[in-house]
Chain A
Amino acid sequence: MSNYALPAGVWRREAKAEITRSLRLPQFLVPTVLTPAAFFALFALALNKSSPEAATVMLAGYGVFAATGPALFGFGAGVAMEREQGLIELKRVSPLPAGAYVAAKLAAALFATALAMVLIDATALIAGVRLPILGWAELTAISLASTLPYALLGFGLGMRMSGKGAVAAANALYLGSAILGGLWIPSAMLPGWMRTLGQFVPSYHLGQLAQAVVDPAKGGASPSHAAIVAGMTLATGVWAWAGWRRSAA
C-alpha cells in the first residue's frame, strides 16, 4: 500500500500555495482585511474617542465580523469561481485528498482573518482598550473559530451557485450576519424581530461568546452559546459536504 500513500507535506504545501495565491489577489484580500479594520477605526476611534469601554464592547463584535469576510468571500465566491474555471476539476482528478483542498482554503481564510485581527487589535490599543493577556488570546481564538462555520457556509454556497450568484449571497450573509448578530450595534438595541432572527445566525452566538470575554459579568450564558455554535458548525459542515458530493454526482 505504501505505493498509494501520499508524500509527506502535501497538506502543508497546498496551504502555502493557497496563501500565496490569495496574496496575489489583492482585489479579494484587501477589502476583506481592511473593511472590518476601517469600520472599527471609524466607530471606535473617530466617533467614540472618549470611551475605551464602548471600544472594548465593539472589539468583541468586530473580531467576529473580521472572520466572516475572508470565510464567506474566500470560500463562497472563491470556490464558485474556481468551480467555473475548472480548478476544482483539476484538484479532483489529482491524488490530492478533498480534505487537503478544503484545509488549504481554510488556512488562507484564517490567514486573512489573522491579518485583520492584527489591525483591529492595534486600533483597539490606540483607542485605549485594555484587557488581560488571556482576554486578548480568548478574543483571537473566538475570532479564528468564527472562520469555520462561515467558511463551511461559503463552501456550501460555492458548490451550488454560479460565481456571480455566490458573490451576491456572500454579501447578503456578510451584512446580514453583522447586523442580526449584533456585531455592529448591540443586539439589545435592535428591534424585536431582528433579535429573534439573530438567534439563527452563528455570528450572534459567537458575538455573545466574545462579549462574555470582555464583560465577565455576562459569562453565565456562554456554555449554551458555545453548544449552539458547535451545532451550527456541524450543520454547515454537513451542508458543505453534501454540496461537494452533489457537484461530483
Chain B
Amino acid sequence: MEHQLAAVAELVGASKKLGGRLVLDKLDLAIRAGEVTALLGPNGAGKTTSVGLLTGRLSPDGGQARLFGLDATRPAARARMGVMLQAAGLPDVMTVREMVTLQSGYYRDARPVAESLELAGIASLADTRCGKLSGGQARRVQYALAICGRPDLLVLDEPTAAMDRASTRALWATVREAADDGAAILLTSHDLAEADALADRILVMNHGRIVADDTPTAIRARVSGSVIRCRTALPAARLTMLPGVRTAEADGADMRIVTADAVETVRILLQLDDGLEGLRVSDAALEDAIAQLVSDEERMAA
C-alpha cells in the first residue's frame, strides 16, 4: 500500500510561470515522513516557488501539487501542516500568548500553549505584544506558530535567519526531535552549515529543476577538491582559466578558489602573483559541492 517512507507532500510534473518566466519546469519532488529535507540552490532557482506550491499558496500551471494526498490549494490539506515563512508577519497589538493560542485553535491535536512557548524558547515573552519583539524573537514566535499544531509536515523557510546562536541550536534540536517523531520537515536555508547539520537529504535546485538529490555526506563527496583562500591582485576571470580550477570568486577581501588540484593551483598562483598573501587551503565544504553541482548543470544546459 504505502512506500517505506510515504510522501507527505509532493510535486508531480509541476510547472509554474511567474511574470512570463517559466520558474518550474515539470518538477517532481517528494517530501517524506521522518526526514529533514533541505531545498538548496541559488536565488531564482525556484525554491520559493516550490515551497509556495507545496504549501498551497500558489497553484501549478501544469502538473500537480499534493499535500497528504489532497490538492495542496484545499484548506483541508493544510490541517496537518505548520509553516514558518520568512515573508510572514505578526500583528503588532496582539501578545505572543494570544497569537499562539489563536493558532493552536486551528489544529485538532494542538500542543498545550505553554509547551509550544517553551519549545520555541519564548515562555518569558508570553505577555509581550508582537510589535515590541526583536527580529530574532519574532522568528521564534513564528516557529512556535509553526509547531503548535503538532504538524505532520513542518515547512521552515530560512528559520534561523536573524536568530542568535543559542536560539538556533535550540531550534535545531526541536526540529530534529520532530523528525525523529515521524514528522516530515522541509527546510530552505542560505546557511549551508544549517542544512549540513539538520538535513537527512539535500535537494539542489537550479533553473527550476532538481540537479542533485542525496545525503549531505554523499553530496560533499561529489567534490573531491580543495578550497584555496588568499588575497591576490589576479582577477577571478583569469583564475577560472587555470588548470584544475572549478570556480573562483571574491569573498570580501579574499579570493576563494575551488580546485581539483590544490598543489598545482597554489604553485601557479605563486608564480603569477608574488604579492599573494594570506594563503590557506582547506577541504571543500558542502557549499562548494553545491556551487559545483550548479555550475556543472549550467555548463550542460548551455
User: Can you offer 27 A-B residue contacts whose CB atoms are under 8 A?
Assistant: A1-B76, A3-B80, A3-B108, A4-B76, A6-B79, A6-B106, A13-B105, A17-B102, A21-B93, A24-B93, A82-B89, A86-B88, A86-B89, A89-B87, A90-B85, A90-B88, A90-B90, A90-B145, A92-B57, A93-B55, A93-B81, A93-B83, A94-B83, A94-B103, A94-B106, A95-B106, A248-B59
Q: Please tell me if B159 contacts chain A, counting CB pairs below 8 Å.
A: no
Shortest A240–chain B CB gap in Å is 18
CB proximity of B106 to chain A, nearest CB, Å: 5
CB nearest neighbor in A for B77: A4
| Residues on B with beta carbons closer than 8 Å to the beta carbon of A3 | 79-80, 108
Residues B75 and A21 in contact, CB atoms below 8 Å apart: no
Besides A3-B79, A13-B102, A20-B94, 8 more A-B contacts (Cβ < 8 Å) are: A4-B76, A7-B106, A9-B105, A17-B98, A20-B98, A89-B88, A95-B76, A95-B78
User: In the bound complex, what is the Cα–Cα distance between A85 and B57 (angstroms)?
Assistant: 17
B58-A248 in contact (CB<8A)? yes
Q: Is A25 an interface residue (CB 8 A)?
A: yes
Task: Convert B8-34 into 0s and 1s, putting 1 for each residue whose CB lies closer than 8 angstroms to a CB of A.
Answer: 000000000010000000000000000
Rounded to whole angstroms, the CA-CA distance of A95 and B80 in the bound complex is 8
| Distance in angstroms between the alpha carbons of A80 and B134 in the assembled complex | 24
Q: Which residue of A lies closest to B93 (CB)?
A: A24
Within the complex, the shortest CB–CB distance from B146 to chain A, in Å, comes to 9
CA distance A25 to B83 in the complex (A): 27
Number of B residues near A (Cβ < 8 Å) is: 34
- Inter-chain CA distance A21–B102, complex, in Å, is 12
Partner of A93, one of B18, B68, B76, B88: B88
Which A residues fall within an 8 A CB radius of B? Answer: 1, 3-7, 9-10, 13-14, 17, 20-21, 24-25, 82, 85-87, 89-90, 92-98, 248-249
Q: For the complex, is B56 an interface residue (Cβ under 8 Å from A)?
A: yes
Contact in complex: B106, A85 (CB < 8 Å):
no
**B70: Cβ under 8 A from any A Cβ:** yes
Contacts of B88 in A (CB 8 A): 86-87, 89-90, 93
Which of A10, A85, A97, A98 lies in contact with B105, CB distance below 8 A? A10
Top 7 nearest A-B pairs (CB, nearest first) are A86-B89, A85-B89, A24-B93, A93-B83, A4-B76, A90-B88, A4-B79
